[in-house]
Structure 1
């Protein structure tokens, strides 16, 4: 029965799909869109005065699709015209507006795998996208925003088209088989307009998902991890194309303000499926939005302030002989990152190391402060600490200075590689960046505590 219904859905909705030309698209958007400044608060239309469209993005680029979403949010008037946009992306990690990419993703591995990292404008947690995901955005006036309604559209489509029983949990995730998450959800609400978006796992690469998203716990806005499943594991007939058709069809047949099956009669009164080409020709100013979403300042520089503290036992041979101090002395490093830049570095040097002749604190701090929290910081540290200029001479560091340099190198390495609850490094290991990457990937070693203090002051606006 479900298969017969799916065929009916595909046949019916195929008649609704309209490949827009530039001229007809411009005409459609001219009718549907208004400058954001012209939107007015007033009496909302009755249900019968509201029409619906399903927009299908022709781009698979995460920055382009996020820009399209933002363009529609800023410029379209949804008072009489509700829109559901469906879109797919090439592999990428998408973090929430207030999240820390170094806490949410394995940044070096993401870069190595050429997986894009993007910060969206809505809140919520971190998600992984690839061509095996279907992403959906529901646009309405703020007063008509109804997340439960949107999620019910999806669960109804799953059951009507595929016989898949899905439920909406208390966190408003879509769950199958009692505990497996197939959809995460987030939203953005403005004064006049709101949107709710979600991603549906259909046939996503779960191995890449697991690698790209690191697991950790902090007091930042970190994602809550749940066991996930692909919908294709529940029903092998579910594909991204068939699901897009089923959800779009369910959206169009459902009245705008209440969950009721309006059938073909209601569909015939809607604007149907429309391909949209997210370019400046169709959406003037979209390229500028996309460029902003691609910048390092947006994706990394908007990260909340966080601090890491780390203590290193100083080898006895580097300490000055003394009967006063304890045999075990520690070098303590505190590093604060603000807007993606290293804003503060403090070094607590044990007395035994000072008395043995270490005087390199100023050099370390000077060369790290203000650097981007990337390999740029590591390079600056190496330049500062591996050699030091005295007049015109270049002198290699002594054993004590090399020890401090390696401690800083390890702190930067651990932060840049994972910033996770348990870093898989030996507590006494003073490895370089590249070595740390290899050890994190290939070895299980004693867990090491890293303390994070995250401040969101002046950020959650």
Structure 2
């Protein structure tokens, strides 16, 4: 079995790489990939991105947000998380059967001391009832691709904050994530593995799966990208994973209500969002203004439902003409940002 250990920590590059390799005739199946990411959130193909993330927290903490090709729920990853993927012939894999596919990972974890780790439910690996791995699967062109996470030493506080949906009332038909109790696997391993970093943990797993004593021995099974491979991967990354329309515009139609009482009156803004853009907006409230608030509504219609775009639009309007006595900054924070 061949494998490839990603050389970057950018989720967008790594997702493009796995997509490219899945469709490449240069690799021999079965094939594995390993990658470690800078802080990021990956939402499932059928999810409403804005419904899954704390957008303001993600922007303030430089957390990359992107969408993957497979279904399932949103996942937070950072440098304490190890991702693994399998590419196998579709005829050899029953769709949705994760237990057999992830067996090499579970066996390696058992060998490293986490003997209670087990596959349970639809697609999770748990220990003592706590989840440390989620998996997703999709099939294309006769190949099945399954990718999973391994929480080794993840910042669990960031998991909660980045995936904490703000209080805005959002309603959509997107597939929502089910939050579960999570844990890191590191503390369940034998003492000799307790001081590893995530990259060293990856190498230990590789050694166990390929049954070798050193990572140098395992590297004879590693695939090496060519210049041509890298050029094609860059095209996929730009077209898909760097693309706002793919990450946000693919979200199902949804509605948002943002309401707050200020000294100068109450503002109740309601949005219809489709294909990632504001289709309709209505602003209600008992505020006063010398101009008709319909001007503000019309300015917002057609804009990307994106905090930076909405903020820029509102900054170009003299909001005091429409919401007398309410500071413009407070109005922008309510309508453009998430809370």
TM range (shorter): 0.7 to 0.9
2:7 to 58, 61, 71: 58
Deviation of 1:183 (Å): 0.4
Aligned residue number for residue 421 of structure 1: none
In the alignment, structure 1 residue 109 sits paired with structure 2 residue 33? no
| Distance in 2 (alpha carbons) for counterparts of 1:168 and 1:160 | 16
Aligned pairs for 1:182-221 within 5 A:
182-215=132-165, 220-221=174-175
Q: 1:143 to 1:272 in 2, by over 3 A?
A: farther
Could you tell me which runs of 5 or more consecutive residues in structure 2 were left unpaired when the two chains were aligned.
Answer: none
Equivalences, count: 323
Q: 1:60 to 1:407 in 2, by over 3 A?
A: closer
Deviation of 1:306 (Å): 1.1
In the alignment, structure 1 residue 417 sits paired with structure 2 residue 338? yes
| Distance in 1 (alpha carbons) for counterparts of 2:301 and 2:338 | 19
Aligned residue number for residue 127 of structure 1: 75
Deviations 1:156-192 (A, max 9, x none): 1111232432111112201012x21110111121241
Deviation of 1:303 (Å): 1.9
Aligned residue number for residue 341 of structure 1: 277
In the alignment, structure 1 residue 74 sits paired with structure 2 residue 23? yes
Deviation of 1:291 (Å): 1.4
Aligned residue number for residue 296 of structure 1: 244
2:37 to 89, 92, 95: 89
Q: 1:372 to 1:139 in 2, by over 3 A?
A: same
In the alignment, structure 1 residue 229 sits paired with structure 2 residue 183? yes
2:206 to 248, 253, 256: 248
Deviation of 1:380 (Å): 1.6
Q: Tell me, what secondary structure is at the counterpart of 2:88?
A: strand
| Distance in 2 (alpha carbons) for counterparts of 1:242 and 1:156 | 18
| Distance in 1 (alpha carbons) for counterparts of 2:60 and 2:285 | 36
| Distance in 1 (alpha carbons) for counterparts of 2:268 and 2:152 | 47
Of 234-243 and 292-301, the range deviating more from structure 2 = 234-243
Q: 1:105 to 1:280 in 2, by over 3 A?
A: farther
Aligned pairs for 1:300-379 within 5 A:
300-310=248-258, 332-347=268-283, 360-373=292-305, 374-379=307-312
**TM-score for both structures, normalised by structure 2:** 0.82
Aligned Cα root-mean-square deviation (Å): 3.3
1:381 to 314, 318, 339: 314
Contact 1:57 1:275 in 2 (8 A): no
**TM-score for both structures, normalised by structure 1:** 0.62
In the alignment, structure 1 residue 149 sits paired with structure 2 residue 100? yes
Q: 1:384 to 1:285 in 2, by over 3 A?
A: same
| Distance in 2 (alpha carbons) for counterparts of 1:404 and 1:360 | 17
| Distance in 1 (alpha carbons) for counterparts of 2:39 and 2:146 | 22
Deviation of 1:314 (Å): 9.6
Contact 1:381 1:409 in 2 (8 A): yes
| Distance in 1 (alpha carbons) for counterparts of 2:252 and 2:134 | 23
Deviations 1:314-341 (A, max 9, x none): 98x98xxxxxxxxxxx875321122222
Q: 1:157 to 1:332 in 2, by over 3 A?
A: same
Q: Tell me, what secondary structure is at the counterpart of 1:182?
A: strand
Q: 1:273 to 1:209 in 2, by over 3 A?
A: farther
In the alignment, structure 1 residue 140 sits paired with structure 2 residue 72? no
Contact 2:290 2:321 in 1 (8 A): no
| Distance in 2 (alpha carbons) for counterparts of 1:272 and 1:58 | 16
